Amino acid sequence: MSKEPVAVIGIGQTKHVAARRDVSIAGLVREAARRALDDAELTWADIDAVVIGKAPDFFEGVMMPELYLADALGAVGKPMLRVHTAGSVGGSTALVAANLVAARVHGTVLTLAFEKQSESNAMWGLSLPIPFQQPLLAGAGGFFAPHVRAYMRRSGAPDTVGSLVAYKDRRNALKNPYAHLHEHDITLEKVQASPMLWDPIRYSETCPSSDGACAMVLTDRAGAARAPRPPAWMLGGAMRSEPTLFAGKDAVSPQAGKDCAADVYRQAGIADPRRDIDAVEMYVPFSWYEPMWLENLGFAAEGEGWKLTESGVTELDGDLPVNMSGGVLSTNPIGASGMIRFAEAALQVRGQAGEHQVERARRVLGHAYGGGSQFFSMWLVGAEPPTS
């Protein structure tokens, strides 16, 4: 028997900000969940199971907080799963929830991811010394900057490409009411003049630290038929992992990312992603990861990704819009960031993305990665249900 098709029928986000001092952790997640239920016109009683994800528990200082959140998420008496796959967790969480529907274990599942980073300092939380391991050095930026430098040297990309990505994403964020950063006076010159943090990554080319949550209601074919608004259909989804460090690892374009994309494209029948996919929400915490992932995901040949960025292809009105929502560069509640990518992809094919809607977006990719460029989760969603 084939898998049950999976549909996204409800999406909810909080307005992402630096610090949500007005709500508890429970209040934050409930706000997003409530909005997703409202979007689907469902109540807590319609939910069969809850799948929650977030990045390290140290970010809020609560061990396995899902135990405490069971009440707030209406999970009492229901199954509740907690996923943690580093930065990719928001995507992985959605995929674990989708599998519950695909396997016909449950009909309708609430999935949610969050981070309340104002409860601690994420950069230093990520910099704990580990015996016999290479130190991460001042947060994720210190880890990833050499990989960006390697990409620049390998591809011969001009130094300015990173600033173009940041300038685009921050302008896209102005069209997304939920985005954290709304820099109305942003200019390319300001991005390029911002302080250098981890050479070659400038302050304006890095993600912010956000409080936020994102939730989705996933359901089966019968649930989708009852949905008040157009569903987004999952056409393919996959996770891939590889070790953090090993001889021969390609940190610029990891094999796990290529394999993950290939699996999704195979499931969805995508022969040429550049032609067959209309837009992408990808996990770009540092600007240069846009051209890097364009290559890793097969949208450009190796060494050519920066040309798509430079020529405006990835702009909101370009031929392959990337991070229409403003992306991770504008909003980064770490554990939720992957799910926001997945949810924004679904919003696009549902035609519900508002001011940052891409016209005729029929098939959109959501992408997340985490750890030392080693955990990948992706899904492709479409306006039409899967044919097979």
Partner 1 sequence: MNREIAVVAFAQTDHRRTSEEFSEVEMLMPVLHEVLGQTGLKTADIGFTCSGSSDYLAGRAFSFTLALDGVGAWPPISESHVEMDGAWALYEAWTKLLTGDADTALVYSYGKSSPGPLRDVLTRQIDPYYVAPLWPDAVALAALQAQALIDAGDTDEPALAAVAARSREDATANPHAQLRGSVPHGEYAVRPLRTGDCPPIGDGAAAVILAAGERARELCARPAWIRGIDHRIEAHGLGVRDLTDSPSARLAAEKAGAFERPVDTAELHAPFTSQEVVLRKALRLDDGVRVNPSGGALAANPVMAAGLIRIGEAAALVHRGESDRALAHATSGPCLQQNLVAVLEGDPR
Q: Which of 81, 123, 138, 150 binds partner 1 (CB under 8 A)?
A: 81
Identify whether the C-beta of residue 302 lies closer than 8 Å to the C-beta of residue 252: no
The reply to whether 244 sits near partner 1 by the rule CB under 8 A is: yes
What DSSP letter does each residue of 321-342 carry, written as one string?
Answer: -B-TT-HHHH---HHHHHHHHH
The reply to whether 251 sits near partner 1 by the rule CB under 8 A is: no
- Exposed, middle or buried, 258 (CB in 10 Å: 0-12/13-18/19+)? middle
The reply to whether 79 sits near partner 1 by the rule CB under 8 A is: yes
The reply to whether 82 sits near partner 1 by the rule CB under 8 A is: yes
Give the interface segment with partner 1, choosing from 28-36, 96-104, 220-228, 315-323 (CB under 8 A). 96-104
Q: Which of 13, 85, 331, 337 binds partner 1 (CB under 8 A)?
A: 85
The reply to whether 227 sits near partner 1 by the rule CB under 8 A is: no
d(CA 293, CA 297) in angstroms, rounded, equals 6
The DSSP code for 179 is -
- Binding string, residues 318-357; x marks residues near partner 1 by CB under 8 A: ----------------------------------------
Query: Residue 261, CB half-sphere, CA atoms under 13 Å: how many?
Result: 25
Give the interface segment with partner 1, choosing from 72-80, 162-170, 175-183, 340-348 (CB under 8 A). 72-80
Shorter beta-carbon distance to partner 1: residue 79 or 177: 79
d(CA 292, CA 289) in angstroms, rounded, equals 5
Shorter beta-carbon distance to partner 1: residue 68 or 222: 68
Q: In the bound complex, what is the minimum distance in angstroms from residue 176's beta carbon to partner 1? A: 29
The sign of the CA dihedral 56, 92, 181, 371 is positive
The reply to whether 156 sits near partner 1 by the rule CB under 8 A is: no
The reply to whether 301 sits near partner 1 by the rule CB under 8 A is: no
Shorter beta-carbon distance to partner 1: residue 263 or 315: 263
The reply to whether 56 sits near partner 1 by the rule CB under 8 A is: yes
The reply to whether 57 sits near partner 1 by the rule CB under 8 A is: yes
d(CA 313, CA 322) in angstroms, rounded, equals 9
Q: Which of 28, 238, 322, 361 binds partner 1 (CB under 8 A)?
A: 238
The DSSP code for 242 is -
The reply to whether 261 sits near partner 1 by the rule CB under 8 A is: no
Q: Pick from 13, 214, 212: which is nearest to 112 by CA?
A: 214
d(CA 147, CA 127) in angstroms, rounded, equals 18
Shorter beta-carbon distance to partner 1: residue 234 or 353: 234
Q: Which residues contact residue 270 at a Cβ distance below 8 angstroms, ignoring those fewer than 6 apart?
A: 236, 264, 276, 277, 363, 380
Q: Pick from 347, 290, 255, 252: which is nearest to 170 by CA?
A: 290
- Binding string, residues 19-38; x marks residues near partner 1 by CB under 8 A: -----xx-------------
Q: In the bound complex, what is the minimum distance in angstroms from residue 348's beta carbon to partner 1? A: 25
The reply to whether 80 sits near partner 1 by the rule CB under 8 A is: yes
Q: In the bound complex, what is the minimum distance in angstroms from residue 239's beta carbon to partner 1? A: 6
Give the interface segment with partner 1, choosing from 51-59, 147-155, 156-164, 213-221 (CB under 8 A). 51-59
Q: In the bound complex, what is the minimum distance in angstroms from residue 366's beta carbon to partner 1? A: 17
d(CA 351, CA 365) in angstroms, rounded, equals 15
Please give the backbone phi and psi of residue 232, each rounded to the nearest 5 degrees, phi first: -105, 135
Block residue for tokens 């069209």: 175
The reply to whether 256 sits near partner 1 by the rule CB under 8 A is: yes
Q: Which residues of 74-92 are buried (b: 16+ CB within 10 A; e: fewer)?
A: bbeebebbbbbbbbbbbbb
Q: Pick from 155, 278, 323, 52: which is nearest to 331 by CA?
A: 323
The reply to whether 60 sits near partner 1 by the rule CB under 8 A is: yes
Give the interface segment with partner 1, choosing from 204-212, 220-228, 242-250, 322-330 (CB under 8 A). 242-250
List contacts with partner 1 (CB under 8 A). 1-4, 24-25, 55-71, 75-86, 92, 95-96, 99-100, 102-105, 125-126, 128, 130-133, 238-244, 246, 254-256, 259-260, 263, 371-372, 374-375
